[in-house]
Structure 1
Amino acid sequence: MSGFPAALPESRVPDSQDAPVLNWGIAGPGWIAERFVESVKAHSAQNITAVGSRSASRAADFAAKHSIPAGHGSYKELAQDPNVDIVYVATPHPQHFDAAMTAIEAGKHVLVEKPMGITGEQVRIMAEAARVRNVFAAEALWTFFLPKFDVVTQLLEGGALGDIVSVFAEYGEHFEAGHRIFDPALAGGPLMDLGTYPLAFATRVLGAAESVAAIGTPHPSGVNGQLSMALGFADGAQGIVNTNLYNFTPTEAVIVGTEATLRIDGPFNMPGGFTLRHKDGRELRFEEDPGAHFEGLHFEAAAAARSIAAGLTEAPQRPLEHTLRTLELADEIRRQTGMEFPDTTTRKQTP
């Protein structure tokens, strides 16, 4: 492809049912783990063999509810289960590092929910540990594994938009009182939860940011409530990102090029459509039914299985370098806005 295409390319993402089968362990039996299990069981042939929690009763309840053969009362027990090939880490954010490292050190592959860590340092440590043990490690940022995003990637790589000059992305959502996003001890606030999506999107399209100017608004709960970021990139490209936990926003993303503009329907991070519009007014439309986690999380599991079968230790859809790029940018945003997260890099002895 060179220049504006006559038609949109087809997605190259294979059917998840055709991926090589791995035995999966689930670390952290929470809301996202339930969505992952439901999606994987419905749309793929992957085999979920165990679940682990710091609470043996929670693990047992989750295992019974989802017909999973084994429930373990610690992440260490889960990592040592001989019937587990790969651990999907779905714990609260500050526990990602410890749960993932426990699995990696036991020789298990890991797919870690976003954000992979709460600091860039944690990602660097996990990446090095995985490299030393020659195991697969990736961030489960499901957006980049969706068929829709593969089409977007082909358009970007084929030059359909010309030179990219700016990216706009935002994500806001309403949360009821008592949600974990309001808890400072759980790295609360929108940055690591909602904000990961627009930050990762902007840096996926434009590369590493060379500069950032961030402003934040405190929330009465003690976390940050809203962030706006202006990002500067090589060759003068710019990114504008906003995220908040006060209420729902369109959650759209726009990529502006010298030849065409690509506008992704909200919520841009989920299955759905987008429009490619040439500067002369021609348009191409990608149509896809909107969907949530049930329709999309299986793609990241299937991609991990294919990568491992191919001897890869990273996911091409979300390389560790890209994950680190996003977390280092988040580190700088926290520095500028005075956000403090709990230090969970020094690990305690895992039970």
Structure 2
Amino acid sequence: MSSMNGNRSAFEDEGKPVSIAILGAGNIANAMARTISAMSNDERYRNLVALHAVASRDERRAAEFANRFTIPVHYGSYEELAEDDDVDLVYIATPHNFHAEHAILCMRNGKNVLVEKSFTANREQADAVLGVAESTGLLCTEAIWTRYMPSRTIIDDLLLSNVIGDVTTVTANLGYPLTGVKRMVDPNLAGGALLDVGIYPLNFIDMVLGPQQLSSLQSSASFFETGVDAQSSTTLHYENGHMGVASCSMLGMSDAQGIVWGSNGYMICNNINNIDGIDIYEDGHRLSRHVDIPQQLTGYEYEVASAANAILDGETQCPEMTHEDTLRLVSLEDNIRDIWGMTYPFED
């Protein structure tokens, strides 16, 4: 990783936490505000991060948000937030199609960024964002919380212990009824199931199997009248013989399981969007072990702490979700949409 020299000592000399601002005031921004507020009251994090500001294009909405979470500063424009010299890290919480624009705005004003998934709407945008990150030497990382959670390390350790033998196949699914969320069916906002819901099964498979070369990719989807995907199924074949199957939907609720098949058994990870338990089965489908997941504040604290520590260490990316990881996943999303023949209006 490349780094910004001297950041650690500067923060330590001043004895201050990493000052965070939230760009956007929607549902995920509310979840992040609750998280950082909880971190400020937790002895593990209270000296690490502090919530400083929020911005919305609607100043009244920003003021209400700031009042709700006792945030010192609010802005009625994103430009004002980006120019605030007291901000160290900006969490980008706008719709997918705006992530690139807003991340670049912040970095060009000297701000590190934590960009909500999906990182961008396509690979072209991702390349532009990471190009600015490289030229500025600032932290730029994708906020897909499952990459940062303790459950990921627990799964890795279990597989390394050969508890189910040699891994052969990974399946993962996630579905929520989300048709009532306007932005989710809007192609101008990069709506559809893939970028919001489907990214979790794809990430689960990628985390278990690691970066591998695909030999073939098949996918099919059904679509809303607006042209965005409602649900889909994707099969990934890898050159080493592994296979992954990812399914997602915004029409109905799924069991949200991630299952790892092995030569001596299989592992079921319950709720891949926020794993709450792992069950290991031996040959004969006998449950041999259950593994609990540590209690969390909200689950988002791990990505915030990782980003803050990366800034303190002068790093430009987080080890849990490197730039290479982000580019691999956003390219996969592009390839899947290419199979469907689906584009967003702003791409035309």
* TM-score > 0.5 by shorter chain: yes
Aligned to 1:179: 182
Distance 1:237 1:222, change over 3 A: same
Quick one: distance in 2 between partners of 1:338 and 1:237? 26
1:163 matches 2:159:
no
Aligned to 1:141: 144
Aligned to 1:74: 77
Give the secondary-structure state (helix, strand or coil) at the position aligned to 2:114: strand
1:229 matches 2:234:
yes
Which structure 2 residue ranges, 5 or more long, are not aligned? 1-15, 40-44
1:35 matches 2:40:
no
Question: Which segment is superposed worse, 310-319 or 105-114?
Answer: 310-319
1:89 to 83, 89, 92: 92
1:211 matches 2:216:
yes
Structure 1 segment 275-314 matched on structure 2, within 5 A: 275-279=279-283, 281=286, 283-288=288-293, 295-314=298-317
Quick one: distance in 2 between partners of 1:178 and 1:145? 27
Question: Which segment is superposed worse, 183-192 or 119-128?
Answer: 119-128
Check the 8 A contact 2:150/2:294 in 1, yes or no: no
1:264 to 262, 266, 269: 269
Quick one: distance in 2 between partners of 1:251 and 1:310? 36
Structure 1 segment 233-252 matched on structure 2, within 5 A: 233-252=238-257
CA shift, 1:344, in A, is: 6.9
Aligned to 1:343: 346
The C-alpha deviation readout for 1:185-229, integer Å capped at 9, x for no partner, is: 111110000001011111222224332111111123432111111
Percent identity between matched residues is 32
The C-alpha deviation readout for 1:223-246, integer Å capped at 9, x for no partner, is: 211111111112111111111111
CA shift, 1:160, in A, is: 4.2
Aligned to 2:7: none
Check the 8 A contact 1:270/1:290 in 2, yes or no: no
Give the secondary-structure state (helix, strand or coil) at the position aligned to 2:246: strand
Aligned to 2:278: 274
Give the secondary-structure state (helix, strand or coil) at the position aligned to 2:339: helix
Give the secondary-structure state (helix, strand or coil) at the position aligned to 1:343: helix
CA shift, 1:162, in A, is: 3.6
Check the 8 A contact 1:63/1:70 in 2, yes or no: yes
The one-letter code sitting in structure 1 at the alignment partner of 2:25 is P
Quick one: distance in 2 between partners of 1:342 and 1:221? 11
Give the secondary-structure state (helix, strand or coil) at the position aligned to 1:128: helix
The C-alpha deviation readout for 1:3-40, integer Å capped at 9, x for no partner, is: xxxxxxxxxxxxxxxxx831001011110010111022
Check the 8 A contact 1:142/1:297 in 2, yes or no: yes
Aligned to 1:4: none
Quick one: distance in 1 between partners of 2:283 and 2:64? 56
CA shift, 1:117, in A, is: 0.4
Check the 8 A contact 1:271/1:289 in 2, yes or no: no
CA shift, 1:176, in A, is: 4.7
The C-alpha deviation readout for 1:140-166, integer Å capped at 9, x for no partner, is: 000111112221122344554443211
Quick one: distance in 2 between partners of 1:231 and 1:271? 22
Distance 1:344 1:138, change over 3 A: farther
CA shift, 1:282, in A, is: 6.8
Question: Which segment is superposed worse, 299-308 or 206-215?
Answer: 206-215
Question: Which segment is superposed worse, 327-336 or 120-129?
Answer: 120-129
Check the 8 A contact 2:174/2:273 in 1, yes or no: no
The one-letter code sitting in structure 2 at the alignment partner of 1:315 is C
Aligned to 2:42: none
Give the secondary-structure state (helix, strand or coil) at the position aligned to 1:194: helix
Give the secondary-structure state (helix, strand or coil) at the position aligned to 1:339: coil
Check the 8 A contact 1:272/1:290 in 2, yes or no: no
Check the 8 A contact 1:90/1:113 in 2, yes or no: yes
Quick one: distance in 2 between partners of 1:310 and 1:154? 26
CA shift, 1:337, in A, is: 0.6
| Runs of 4+ residues deviating >6 angstroms | none
Quick one: distance in 1 between partners of 2:79 and 2:156? 38
The one-letter code sitting in structure 2 at the alignment partner of 1:31 is N
Distance 1:155 1:234, change over 3 A: farther
Distance 1:159 1:104, change over 3 A: farther
Quick one: distance in 2 between partners of 1:176 and 1:318? 29
1:315 matches 2:311:
no
1:331 to 331, 334, 341: 334
Question: Which segment is superposed worse, 140-149 or 49-58?
Answer: 49-58
